[in-house]
Each structure stands twice: as C-alpha cells, then as structure tokens.
C-alpha cells in the first residue's frame, strides 16, 4: 500500500512539471526568450511594450522573426518606424507623447509592439529652467563656456527686455540658435540675486530662466596656454574666492603662468601681489613661473596635481601651509615661510639652494616619495655648509620610503643632522 502511494505522488509531480513547461512554450515546443526594452520575442498573439522619451531613437531586435517580417504603424506623427534586416529589427524614432501600437506579421503569425512615448526631461520644472553655474573658465576638456537650453514646444522666443539685473548684459550673452537658447559666460557673477530672463510664445505665455552663478575667474593668452590674470578686477573679488567650497580651477588648456614681479604695489588684476586670491586649483598646469604668485598674501590653498616645475620664488610671500606635488621634478627658489607640510612625488630630482629657508618655525614634515635616491641630482648641501635647504634651527621631520631609508642616509648623510625632527621611513 505504501509503494502505491509514493508512486502516485511522484506521478502527480511529474505531470505538474510537464504541464508548466507546455504552457510556457510557444506552441511548437520552443521556450520563449525574454523581452527587454531593446529586444522583443516575436510569437503568435504576443503583445510587448517598450518605453521611450521624446526625440529618442532606438533599434529594437525582433527576436524569432526572419527578414520577411512586416509591420504596420498608423500613429501619423507620433513615431516614425523603419525596417532593418540581418538581423530583423525596427528603428524607431519617438516624436510626441502618447502610446503607439506597431502590428507585426510574418505568415500567419501576428504580434503587437506598443511604444509608449513619455515627455523628455528638458530641464524645465514648473515653467522655470535653473542654471546652477556656467563654466566660463572652461575647466574641463570639453567645456564650452556656455549652457544651451531647449526651448519649450509652442514657438517660444527670447524676450531680450526681460534680462535682469541691470548689469546682467556684462555677465552673460543670450542668443537664440535654432530651437535652443545659448547662454554664454562673459564675466564672473556670484551675487545673491540670480540673473533671470524670460521666453514667451505667441499667446504671451512666459517661462523663466534662472542663472545662479557664472564662474569666470581667469584671463588667459596664447590660445589658453598661459594663465595671465584675473578675468576682470571689478567682478572678481576676494569674496568670490572665499565663498567657494573648493578652489576655482584654471582653464583646462593652461600649462603655464606668466612671470610675476617683486613690486610691492597691490595688484587688482595680475596674480602676484594680489590680495584677492585665497585659493586656486591649477588643474593641468605644469610650470609655475618665477614670482607668479609672489606676495599674494592671502593665498592659502593651492592644488598642483600636474605641476612639474616651480621656478624662483613663485610662491614666496603667500600663506600656503600644505603643498602636495605628485608630479614635481624641480623646485627653484624659496617656498612660503608658512609651509608646514611638503610632499614631493616619485619623479622629484632637483631642489635649489635655500628652498626651505624661512620655514624653520613652520615646517613639520617633508615627505619624499622617491624610492631610488640616486635619481635626485641636486639636493644641497654636498658637503658645503653654506648651502642648506633649511636653517639649522628647525623641527622638521624627513620621511622617505622605508625600503630606501638606508640608501638616503648613505647618499645624503647630512640629512640625519639637518632635520631636527628626525629622518624616518614610511610604508
């Protein structure tokens, strides 16, 4: 009796599994393949839905169809559809919001593809388009210095009389280009009242563009190769620097900065002796020329991730406390007397006489990441007590890679006595 019961249960389970498989196939023993937003499985009576947005183009694979398949689409202007073969596909361009059925056929087999077109997010929210910032400095490789806005549907045009506040025309240029409005940065703008203007249609319906900030700190020359000065000494203020969370980047194309001068006169435009500059990101700059930022007395932060060379007294007289120079090869002249931490990367080869003179009361740590000290061709003194990179009365510590510590002591034996904070290896 027990055996019969077990046999009956097993038979029931097997029958159930076979039934599930039969129901899930396409009627000819082939299990359907999954459909996605870009691939549909073509089977008799099936209906599949894909989702698109206005102006989107997409190619959809008709899996299970041959090149002989046909389609019928009657939406008019809602979508446009064309057939592609090898493999069987449909190329669909969405034009306007709505749901549009495409009827598919091959022989006696018919199916439906429903295309749901949703409104495309063009940035307009409740009749307002907000521009958080315009990168007038072109700090990224593909930066343009402008923002383009797609005009709303319904023949909207720019109302030039609506541009506010009064000095906004000094800060931005607004142009209509085809179906878009281009807003180009002219001068820096970071005031509390945003720049605004309106677009209107033939029914006098309005929408508003809000520009919160225009970033344009710098002026360049030689097709952007040289950093020269502030973009405008009136519109760029110390507050412009102070209110930024991160240092403003110089243009992506800049590789060097013009020489400065030792004059004590306060500059309103140039980068040396300029009290406005508090922080700066040198971006792709490779060379800081002599006296470039000399005596810019409020400069506290500088990001110099690509800098390879610092020329004579380029940063002297600033308030910089920390310098991280991963790509540096050469340093000439004196660094700021406020410097506390200095990191020299693996490519470092050369440091001039008296480089750290004046930092005796501030420098806490000099970190050199060079693992082969023999590549450092000039690191004074070479037995000459008159040439020392830092004065005897210091508390600075020298850190070098742990595996190279003994090599440093052999090549530069004077480091153990010159750096009063000690010489240590780090992992």
Residue-wise pLDDT for 340-361, tens only, equals: 999 999 999 999 888 999 999 9
Which phi and psi (to 5°) does residue 47 adopt?
A: -135, 130
Percentage of residues of the chain with pLDDT beyond 70: 90
Mean pLDDT, all residues of the chain: 90
Round to whole Å and give the CA distance between 396 and 360: 7
- Topology, domain 124-215: Immunoglobulin-like (2.60.40)
Helix (H) or strand (E) holding 6: helix 2-24
SS (H, E, C) 66-108: CCCCEEEECCCCCEEEEEECCCCEEEEEECCCEEEEEEEEECC
Q: Residue with structure tokens 């970190």?
A: 367
Indicate the SS3 state at residue 374.
helix
- For residue 21, is pLDDT > 80? no
Q: What pLDDT does residue 386 have?
A: 67
Of 256, 243, 253, 233, the closest CA to residue 212 belongs to 243
- For residue 120, is pLDDT > 80? yes
Indicate the SS3 state at residue 377.
coil
- For residue 207, is pLDDT > 90? yes
Round to whole Å and give the CA distance between 108 and 106: 6
At 417, list the tokens: 């006595």
Q: In this structure, which CATH number among 2.60.40.10, 1.10.3720.10, 2.60.40.1080, 3.40.50.720 belongs to the domain 39-118?
A: 2.60.40.1080
Of 268, 293, 287, the closest CA to residue 330 belongs to 287
Indicate the SS3 state at residue 368.
strand
Confidence of residue 379 (pLDDT cuts 50, 70, 90): confident
| Residues forming beta bridges with residue 106, ordered by sequence position | 109
Longest dimension (CA), the chain: 111
Question: What's the average model confidence in pLDDT over 173-195?
Answer: 96
Of 182, 246, 252, 240, the closest CA to residue 215 belongs to 240
Q: What pLDDT does residue 354 have?
A: 82
User: Which one is predicted more confidently, 254 or 77?
Assistant: 254
Domain ranges of the chain: 39-118, 124-215
Which phi and psi (to 5°) does residue 160 adopt?
A: -65, -25
Q: Would the CATH topology of 39-118 be identical to that of 124-215?
A: yes
Of 196, 185, 195, the closest CA to residue 146 belongs to 185
Q: pTM of the full predicted structure?
A: 0.78
Confidence of residue 75 (pLDDT cuts 50, 70, 90): confident
């Amino acid at each position: 009796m027990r055996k019969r019961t077990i046999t009956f249960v097993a038979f029931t389970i097997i029958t159930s599994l076979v039934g599930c498989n039969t129901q899930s196939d396409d009627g000819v023993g082939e299990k359907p393949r999954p459909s996605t937003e870009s691939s549909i499985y073509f089977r008799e009576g099936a209906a599949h839905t894909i989702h698109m947005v206005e102006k989107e183009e997409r190619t959809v694979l008709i899996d299970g169809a041959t090149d002989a398949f046909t389609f019928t689409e009657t939406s008019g202007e809602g979508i446009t559809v064309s057939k592609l073969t090898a493999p069987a596909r449909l190329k669909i361009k969405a034009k306007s919001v709505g749901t549009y059925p495409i009827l598919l056929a091959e022989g006696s087999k018919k199916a439906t593809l429903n295309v749901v077109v949703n409104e495309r997010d063009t940035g307009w929210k409740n009749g307002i388009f907000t521009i958080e910032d315009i990168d007038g400095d072109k700090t990224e490789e593909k930066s343009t210095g402008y923002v383009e806005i797609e005009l709303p549907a319904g023949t909207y045009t720019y109302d030039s009389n609506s541009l506010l506040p009064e000095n906004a025309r000094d800060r931005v240029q607004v142009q209509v280009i085809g179906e878009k409005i281009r807003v180009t940065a002219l001068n820096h703008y970071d005031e509390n009242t945003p720049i605004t203007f309106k677009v209107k249609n033939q029914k006098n319906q309005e929408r508003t563009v809000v520009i919160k900030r225009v970033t344009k700190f710098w002026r360049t020359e030689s097709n952007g190769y040289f950093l020269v000065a502030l973009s405008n000494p009136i519109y760029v203020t110390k507050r412009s620097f102070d209110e930024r969370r991160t240092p403003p980047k110089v243009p992506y194309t800049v590789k060097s900065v013009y020489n400065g001068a030792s004059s004590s006169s306060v500059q309103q435009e140039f980068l040396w002796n300029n009290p406005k500059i508090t922080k700066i990101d040198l971006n792709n700059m490779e060379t800081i020329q002599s006296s470039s930022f000399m005596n810019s007395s409020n400069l506290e932060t500088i990001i110099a991730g690509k800098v390879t060379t610092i020329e004579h007294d380029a940063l002297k007289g600033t308030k910089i406390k920390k310098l991280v120079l991963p790509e540096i090869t050469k340093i000439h002249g004196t660094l700021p007397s406020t410097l506390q931490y200095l990191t020299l990367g693996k490519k470092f080869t050369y440091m001039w006489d008296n480089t750290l003179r004046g930092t005796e009361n501030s420098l806490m740590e000099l970190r050199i990441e060079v693992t082969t000290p023999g590549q450092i061709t000039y690191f004074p003194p070479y037995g000459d007590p008159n040439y020392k990179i830092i004065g005897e009365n210091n508390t600075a510590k020298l850190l070098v890679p742990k595996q190279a510590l003994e090599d440093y002591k052999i090549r530069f034996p004077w480091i153990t006595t010159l750096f009063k904070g000690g010489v240590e290896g780090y992992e």
